[in-house]
Structure 1
Amino acid sequence: MNICSDLLSEDFKIVDFSFALPYTYVLIEGERGRSLGVAMSLVEDVVDYDVSFKDVSLHEFLKGLKSFNMIERCLGFATLNAISQYHMREIENFDVFEEMVAEGVERVAVVGNIKPLVAKLRKNFDVVVFERNPKLRCQALSDCFEYELLPSFDAVFVSGTALVNGTLELVVERARNAKFKVLIGPTAQIHPKLIRGLTHLASMKVVDVDRALMGLKLGSWRIFESACEKYTIRVK
């Protein structure tokens, strides 16, 4: 993934980081303050607990974006999300659900079994869920069926973890007939300049860094969520 030079225009310092549950996080600091980025820790895909980073630096952590070591990838995308959130100061919110109703959307695919999202969508749409992790596959299809089925949906919501596991481009290509392609979840904090093929990004802006860090260190989703503001933006 190529990072726009203007996103790296400052000399960012990594203040704190951890490969943790449920989220890997990286806290950076620049001229305008601190920024916290997260990425879902895909522990089921960790096969090697060694890492090749030579030091704790932005340059080293960003190498993880191209690594096939899952710990390095999680830290890489958490770093990229921290940089993205640093630059996303003013966010214009959109209601993608209202837009979908207005456009006559009927069939919706959710890639990644995000249960609260699925429950909300099922109030208005015919929903099919795909999930890679067998432990999370309750009332969901295996992701092996995405290739065959995704072209038939009007809208597709994709978990931000697709960035980390390298499947986002494949999903977007197969969902080419969908009017709405939404990357969603805390891992979807990425800057819209770095994304192609999507219509919306739905994620979380950390507004209380210290409280968010406490939640992440304790492995508490509820504490972390209470320190954030949800947003949905259009990708131009």
Structure 2
Amino acid sequence: MRAEIRDIVEKTLKDIGANGRIDDLIASPYHPWLLTYVEYEDGGTGCGSCSAVFRGMEYGSGGMIGEIKGLDLLGRDARGVIGELMELDGTLYNAIALSTLSALSYRFMNREHLEREGFNVVERPISEGLFGREIGRSGGRLISKEDVVAVVGFAYWTFPYLISQVKELRCLELLDAELFQTLSLRGREPRVRVYNNPGCLEDADVVFITGMTLPNGTLPEVLKHCRNARVRVLYGPSCSFYPSRLLRLVDGVYAIKIPVEEEVKLRIMDSRCVYQYSCPKTRIVEVWNGEAALS
């Protein structure tokens, strides 16, 4: 794990103080997200999720199942697992470490606790499918018609809600730019331009950053290129752990909290790790440093 990301993980573990054992891990090569379940020392349950691919929405490798089995995680001390995985290189190992950190953070990711710790919080259920639509809608509080807004990660589901509210909407994605060429026989062009050069962030006023930049190790570079932005926000399951350290780097975090009920877990398995984004019990937890983002 990259040193800067490891530092975030280690300090977050100190902040939450919780521990438990690995109760389960769900993964499928069909979709890039994996979920870790922990049983706390007092018997409670926590759940965390993280993207397990390096870039884009590319599907996981069938070999990932064998790799995860080979780690022999079931029943092991969660903090010990995180520590071991941080010593290894690879997005899959980073993803398991981060999803386990999110699972240990689970009981602290609620409005009551976070506000008590001094954060500004909006918590609500997912209303429609992919939680990114919520970013597009609520993101309107942060932006104006004069703003250049950049989205790191091809969060296409936010575009319809942002495009009419800004001067320019652009996207940074690691996938080859050729994949985003779009043909119109009438010669029309997409309104959202997709770049694979982080230089496109340099003059952005507001930047939404996918949590995938944590397991793939690109977050430090992304933050460097958007250091002049007025607002920087992390979003997604991969950044859904206790935000005490993340909010020293960015202004806000859009986290996701997945229900731990057995029936929900079974539906997640049935859907190959997709159902959590349409489950009506899944919650969005926005956490902010400043009150302006909540106005």
What is the TM-score with the length of structure 1 in the denominator? 0.84
Question: Structure 2 matches for 1:1-236, cutoff 5 A?
Answer: 1=6, 2-4=10-12, 5-7=14-16, 9-20=17-28, 21-30=31-40, 31=42, 33-42=44-53, 50=67, 53=71, 55-56=73-74, 57=76, 58=78, 59-90=80-111, 92-93=121-122, 95-101=138-144, 106-125=147-166, 126-134=168-176, 137-138=179-180, 141-143=194-196, 145-146=197-198, 148-195=199-246, 196-218=248-270, 219=272, 221-226=274-279, 227-235=281-289
Distance in 2 (alpha carbons) for counterparts of 1:93 and 1:137: 36
The runs of 5 or more residues in structure 1 that have no matched partner are none
Assess, with a 3 A threshold, how the Cα gap between structure 1 residues 189 and 137 changes in structure 2: closer, same or farther: farther
SS in 2 for 1:164: coil
Considering Cα pairs closer than 8 Å and 6+ residues apart, tell me whether 1 or 2 has the greater RCO: 2
Closer/same/farther in 2, CA of residues 46 and 135 from structure 1, 3 Å limit? farther
Distance 1:75 1:136 in 2: 31
Q: Contact 1:182/1:202 (CA < 8 Å) preserved in 2?
A: yes
Per-residue Cα deviation, 1:89-145 (whole angstroms, up to 9, x for no partner): 3252184421333xx7510011100111122211212200111134995365343x1
Deviation at 1:151, TM superposition (A): 1.3
Q: Which moved more, 1:40-49 or 1:217-226?
A: 40-49
Q: Please tell me whether Structure 1 or Structure 2 has the larger radius of gyration of its CA atoms.
A: 2
The structural deviation recorded for 1:217 is 1.3
Task: Return the offset for 1:204.
Answer: 1.3
Alignment partners' CA distance in 2, 1:105 and 1:32: 51
Give the Cα–Cα distance (whole angstroms) in 2 for the partners of residues 116 and 182 of structure 1.
16
CA–CA separation in structure 1 for the residues paired with 2:227 and 2:18: 36
Unaligned runs of 5+ in 2: 1-5, 115-120, 124-137, 182-192, 291-295
Aligned residues: 231
User: How far off is 1:224 after superposition?
Assistant: 4.2
Alignment check: 8 A CA contact 1:105 1:155 kept: no
Quickly say closer, same or farther: Cα 1:207–1:53, change in 2 above 3 A. closer
In structure 2, relative to structure 1, the CA distance for the partners of 1:135 and 1:225 (3 Å cut) is: farther
Residues 169, 211 of structure 1: CA spacing in aligned structure 2 closer, same or farther, 3 A cutoff?
farther
Structure 1 residues 178, 215: closer, same or farther in 2, change over 3 A? farther
> Residue 212 of structure 1: CA displacement?
3.8
TM-score under structure 2 length normalisation: 0.68
Distance 1:181 1:208, change over 3 A: same
Deviation at residue 87 of structure 1 after TM alignment? 1.9
Contact 1:112–1:129 (Cα < 8 Å) also in 2: yes
Distance 2:85 2:258 in 1: 23
- Please provide the CA RMSD for this pair: 2.9
